[in-house]
Each structure stands twice: as structure tokens, then as C-alpha cells.
Amino acid sequence: MSLLAVENLSARHGLLQAVSEVSLAASEGEILALVGANGAGKTTLLRTIAGSHRAAGGRIIFDGTELGTMRANRRVRLGIALVPEGRRLFGGMTVEENLKVAGANGRPGRWTIETVLDAFPLLKPLMRRRAGELSGGQQQATAIGRALMTNPRVLLLDEVSLGLSPVAVQAVYESLHSVIEGRGTTIVLVEQDLSRVLRIATRVACMLEGRIVLEGKAADMTRERVTEAYFGLRRGAGGAHA
């Protein structure tokens, strides 16, 4: 049984249908990467799973429990954590305070300040710095660390590399390696770098205009195949799913 499943999930922004009857599943320890152009519905899908955006239809099932209209803070306590696009840290609080606030509202588990700092050693000299004073890469590491402090079973990562320099992106992903490898955490990742996605993901799903138009094992995907789906070139070809 999948740890996380969405069934015919839809979500709107006013009259705009942002997510249209999406069905996806992720097993424990799996890395599911969502790709697609801006406006494809990826962020809305993650926010709906996390409970920060209301579903317009369909179901979200986590470890056998249908989440329904459950609030975001209750989903965090069950084990679902979102690292949102733009990071959204408490800018006036220190790195340490951001981590501690999250830890106070999460589940017990292996992620503590010490283990987060082991995974993200660049944060060690920054613990007393205010989050609003950090560089983009430092803020992203803090945002991921904050999510880990809730001890999630499912970690939703939205645009990890957005707005960061290549050096900062590489540093963040190197630190994420210890999260991805051997920890058993299920990750649903939105990422624009297709080469990186195909290296680290277990499965890939491509969204176009709110729908899944291609899905399959990363090992079976090629850059050309994903790019075709990304730009809608496979639509109407009959059976977009891998």
C-alpha cells in the first residue's frame, strides 16, 4: 500500500482550475519528482496535499487515512511537511528559533537540532543569525531543516533551487543527500532541473495545465520524453502515462 495517495484530486484558484483530477501515489522511501512549466499546477498540488490549499474534489489518503478537510497543522503532526516555494521563514527570528518552533509542533523522531546540523553543516555558524539576514542558499537550508524538525514521513519540497546560484543549489542538494539516502523519508519534489531529477528521483510525473500527462519510473525516462510531455507534444498521442 502506498504511504501517500491522491485520487482524482482537483483544486482551484477562484474560477481557475489549477489541478484537474490528478491521481498519484508514493511509497515509503520513494522520491517522486514533479516537473512541468510554470502554472502547470505543481505548487498547488503540493499545497493541497499539505492542507494549506483547499481541495475542490477528490481524496488525499495518508497511511490509509483519508485526510478530507483536515487542517495543515494536524497534517504536520501526522507526518506531512511542506517546504514552500519562497521558503517563508520567520525573518525576524534566528535560525535556531525557526528550528525550535517547528520542532515544538511536530512528531517525535530522529530529527533534532543536532541531526539537522549534521545534515546541513553550513547552518552551524548561523544559528544566532536572523533568518531574514541569510543568503538564499542559507535560507533554503534553514527551511528544509525546519521541515525536518517536524519529523515528517512525507517531505514536500517545492522548487528547492529557485532563485539560487548553481553553487548554492549544489550545496543544498549535497546536504539533502543524507535525507534522501537511508532515512526512509518519502519525498515529493518539485524541481526544474531535469538532469538532477532523473538522477535522484525514483519516479517522475510531468504536469501540464493541471493534469498528469506523463508518469513512470525515472530509470525508464529520457530527457527527450519528459521534454515532449513538458511542452504538451505528447497530448492526443493516446496514453500519456508510462
Grid coordinates given for 142: 534553514
65-98 pLDDT, tens digit each: 999 999 999 999 999 999 988 778 988 999 999 9
Full set of structural domains in the chain with CATH: 4-230 (3.40.50.300)
Q: Is the pTM of this model over 0.85?
A: yes
Distances (CA, A) of 231 to 11, 46, 151, 239: 22, 21, 36, 16
Confidence at residue 112, expressed as pLDDT on a 0 to 100 scale = 94
Specify the pLDDT at position 242. Answer: 38
pLDDT of residue 183: 64
Average pLDDT in the 2-27 region? 96
Query: In this predicted model, what pLDDT tens digit does every residue of 174-203 receive, in sequence order?
Result: 887 777 765 678 999 998 888 889 998 999
Torsions phi, psi of 214, nearest 5?
Answer: -155, 135
Q: Would you give the DSSP letter of residue 122? A: G
Q: What pLDDT sits at residue 217?
A: 95
CB atoms within 10 A of CB 166: 9
**Does pLDDT of 106 surpass 70?**
yes
How many C-beta atoms surround the C-beta of residue 77 within 10 A?
14
Q: Alpha-carbon distance 194 to 31, whole Å?
A: 14
pLDDT at 182: 57
